[in-house]
Amino acid sequence: MGNGQRNRSTELDTTQISIQDHNYKAIPSRESVSYSCAYSIRKQPDNCTPHYLCISCNRQCFDGGQCKIIKCICGAIQKRDEQNRVTELNYYPESQFQDNFDILQSRFLGECSELQSLSLGVFLDSLPEDLMNGHSPDFQTITELVLTKYFEIRLRYITEGDYISFEGCHIKVLASYPLQGFVTRNTRIHCTQTISCRPLRKIRLVPIAPHVINSSVLDSVIVPYFSELARHVHEEQKLVIRGLECVVASALPSDGIVTADTEIFFEPDPLNPIKRISLIPFSEDLPGCMRAMDQKQLSKSVLDQFLMPYLKGWTRVIYQGKEVAIDGVGFKAQSVSPSYGFITSSTLVVYDGKRVSRAEQERQHRRSQRNRSRRNRTLHIDNSIQEVNTTMVIRELMNVLENFRVLQEGASEVIISQLPSFSLTRLPESADQCRCLICMNDFELEEQVKALPCSNV
């Protein structure tokens, strides 16, 4: 392969990469790059195993180092504290949503790995005032006083969907990549989203191929799942309900608690995985330091700072033309194959450093609306002319038909009596006019005749 071919191959590799093959670069410091919405813990946490021995049966029990209440298969209810002391309890709370922060939600999937990325949502309902900045959460303070301390104390084994309660702050793991693993210095942590315990009015579930949802599955599987325990869901959350894989395609509001009053809708046809996607940023939304970058620099920065954090570990439902906001920057799904589906770790993400103008897009939209309006007006005029022409043709046809009817039925007595009559004082010179056109008899002098509308007698 020549040098030119190798260079073209290298350039292509920098603009398209599958999610599973992407590795984050070192996270820049907040002092040097103001647009970075990710952070990592500063020191490696103290070593801790995700298992400990049950104090009743001596079996291995999994709590992921989260120090939550668990129930051993022997029936013993216990909890390990931050000093690794195990205490046996006589109750297992699981009646209210807040109990999710005390009991372990996940189970060990059989592989100890390191998390590449972690996306967290902060419950706004119970956030202490010292972690607020006016009416909004102070994410920088939450990061420094809560998350950094929680993850640096000990090695935590975290799974997507876990709940964290620490220093009065309630947090949900919205997404992780891979699905389960240890949080280390190499883990990129994103915490910029607020969530709530408000009741949901509606949710729409879409099955993931090859699974399907019908009325029977809804009544026998989905409704009982949400009836057992108060559960919090958010848009684009993947659910595994007794083996049924589906995604929350939409919710009203965007996140909250599923209650008995929540309307559950579903789409019977399953979603297929997206093989290839191209998300283009709006140039007006990009941070100032990024607007001055060339295409190659922008390609790498946007992939690392925006696209991969948005896609990696998430079951995003995306369609062609969809606009999304990623940490304050708008993006448009310019190319999606297939045109509607969900993101997987195998999805190929394509971005070559180009950008679109929101102002230009709005101008094109207005131009398109004007052209559509002109076409509609032209179509209206054409339709009006066509209606006039049609009316005239119909009127002429009716006249012809009426004349034809008269000829077929013969003239009535009333019409005949209304024709002008006179006495022939002399016979016509033309042989064609010397006889009656009706009875074909020859005219005689002084005979009474009637004049027809065609001027014949």
Q: What is the pLDDT along the chain (457 residues), one digit of tens a residue?
A: 444 444 443 444 457 899 999 988 765 544 334 445 688 898 889 888 899 999 999 999 999 999 999 999 999 999 999 999 999 998 888 778 888 899 998 888 877 789 999 999 999 988 998 999 888 899 989 998 999 999 999 999 999 999 999 998 999 999 999 999 999 999 999 998 999 999 999 999 999 999 999 999 999 999 999 998 889 999 999 999 999 999 999 999 999 999 999 999 999 999 999 999 999 999 999 998 888 899 988 998 899 889 999 999 999 999 999 999 998 899 999 999 999 999 999 999 999 999 998 887 777 667 777 777 766 666 666 666 666 566 666 776 676 666 656 555 555 565 666 667 767 667 676 666 677 766 767 767 777 776 666 556 5
Rounded CA-CA distance 214/222 in Å is 10
Domain membership of residue 17 (yes or no) is no
Residues 118 and 238 in one domain: no
Q: Are residue 261 and residue 282 in the same domain, yes or no? A: no
In a domain, 424, yes or no: yes
Looking at residue 377, its pLDDT comes to 66
* Same-domain pairing of 351 and 241: no
Co-location of 228 and 149 in the same domain: no
The boundaries of the domain holding residue 347 are: 276-356
pLDDT for position 163 = 95
Last residue of a domain, one of 356, 386, 402: 356
Is residue 289 domain-shared with residue 243, that is, in the same domain? no
Residues 69 and 154 both lie in one domain: yes
Residue 65 in any domain: the answer is yes
Residues 55 and 172 in one domain: yes
Do 155 and 48 reside in the same domain of the chain? yes
Q: Would residue 18 count as lying in a domain?
A: no
Assign residue 285 the CATH number of its domain: 3.10.330.10
Stated pTM of the model: 0.75
| Residues 175, 117 within the same domain | yes
Neighbours of 441 (CB within 10 A): 9
Instruction: Assess whether 98 and 170 both reside in one domain.
Output: yes
Same domain for 160 and 134? yes
Residue 169 lies in a domain: yes
Domain presence at residue 208: yes
The reply to whether 114 falls in a domain is yes
Domain boundary among 356, 386, 407: 356
Q: What proportion of the chain, given as a percentage, has pLDDT over 90?
A: 55
Which of 266, 295, 315 represents a domain boundary (last residue)? 266
Regarding whether 209 and 67 lie in a shared domain, the answer is no
**Domains in the chain: how many in total?**
4
